[in-house]
Amino acid sequence: MFTRSSALAVAIGLMAGSVSGAPQVQLDDPFSSGMWDYHQEALLGDPAKIQFDDRVRVIAPDTAEDAFNVPLLVDATALSDVEEIVISVDYGPIPKILSFFPGEAEPKLALRFKIDQATAIRASVRTRTDGWHVGGTLIDAAGGGCSAPAQAYASDDWEEKLGEMHGRLWSSSGRARVIVDHPMDTGLADGIPVFIIRDLTFSTDDGHEVARIALSEPVNEDPAFTLYFDPETMPSLLHVRGRDNNGNEIEGILTDEEVN
């Protein structure tokens, strides 16, 4: 672990000349990961007002059973006026997983991501008037003897299914769930360039945007998200639109229909 962590720290240090390693607000990291100061500057832009806050709930399994599909639930509904949630890992070749702009949705998101090693995982919540609030948890990237999952990585029909979308709304419980078929290649494997969905927006029939997700490389293959709404005010239909870094457009419609 030491070798790996310090290699990363060195690599990032070389990269990022602007990061001093001493943020203007020095926090006492509950996980003592040794990397938080750095991410506070590099990922969040060294905010002037920031705190660790247990009201930001980050829930994950203790160990990652499938390193390619680690489930995560981030819940900042105890905070008000949330504008953005940045989800990131402390240790990994690409720390940032995504930014969620909840808009008219609840500040709560279920997702899956790819993990590289045991790490702290953080949700940094930016509020309109009260700065940043950061919650987190630890995930051990251990599998199990009986556990190595079969990966359908080299499936040959991925091009046909690219952008295929599954999902629906549950207006009685205020949920919207969507799964988009996409390889989400990180660009870190030899000879395979970055190929990821950059953003997904959720909007009403008249084009009004209600929420947005900006994805980074560690989001899992075939990204899967649940967004949560107040059932009272939830739209009866959501358009999901997105674009990947190769310019492919993604588009679908979520409704309350069980089948379509």
Partner 1 sequence: MTTRRAALGLLAGGVAHVTQTSPLWAEARHSYDLRPVPILSGVWMIKGATEYFSRDNGGAIVNCAILQGKSGLILIDSGSSRRYGEALNLALRKLDLRGVSTVINTHHHPDHYFGNQVFADKPILALGGTIAAARTEGDGFSDNMYRLLGDWMRGTEPVPPSIEIGTGDIVVDGRRLAALPLGGHTASDLALIDAETGLLITGDLVFLDRAPTTPHADLARWQEALTTLAAVQAPAVLPGHGPLDRAGIAIRKTSAYLTWLNDRLVAAAGMGLDMIEIMETPLPDEFASMGAQPQEFHRSVSHLYPEIERMILPRAN
- Interacting residues with partner 1 (CB under 8 A): 1, 4, 7-8, 10-12, 14-15, 59-61, 65-69, 71-73, 92-93, 110-112, 114, 116-118, 141-150, 163-168, 170, 173, 175-179, 186, 188-190, 222, 224, 226, 240, 250-254, 257-260
- Residue whose C-alpha is closest to residue 255's, from 174, 176, 180, 179: 176
Q: Which is nearer to partner 1, 10 or 48 (CB)?
A: 10
Q: Which is nearer to partner 1, 65 or 130 (CB)?
A: 65
The CA-based angle 106-168-253, given to 5 degrees, is: 95
Q: What is the 3 state secondary structure string of 173-215?
A: CCEEEEEECCCCECCCCCCCCCECEEEEEEECCCCCEEEEEEE
Q: Which is nearer to partner 1, 97 or 111 (CB)?
A: 111
Query: What is the nearest approach in angstroms of partner 1 to the Cβ of residue 142?
Result: 6
Cα–Cα distance for residue pair 148/78, rounded to 1 Å: 37
Cα–Cα distance for residue pair 18/78, rounded to 1 Å: 34
Q: Which is nearer to partner 1, 83 or 257 (CB)?
A: 257
Query: What is the nearest approach in angstroms of partner 1 to the Cβ of residue 49?
Result: 29
Query: What is the nearest approach in angstroms of partner 1 to the Cβ of residue 159?
Result: 16
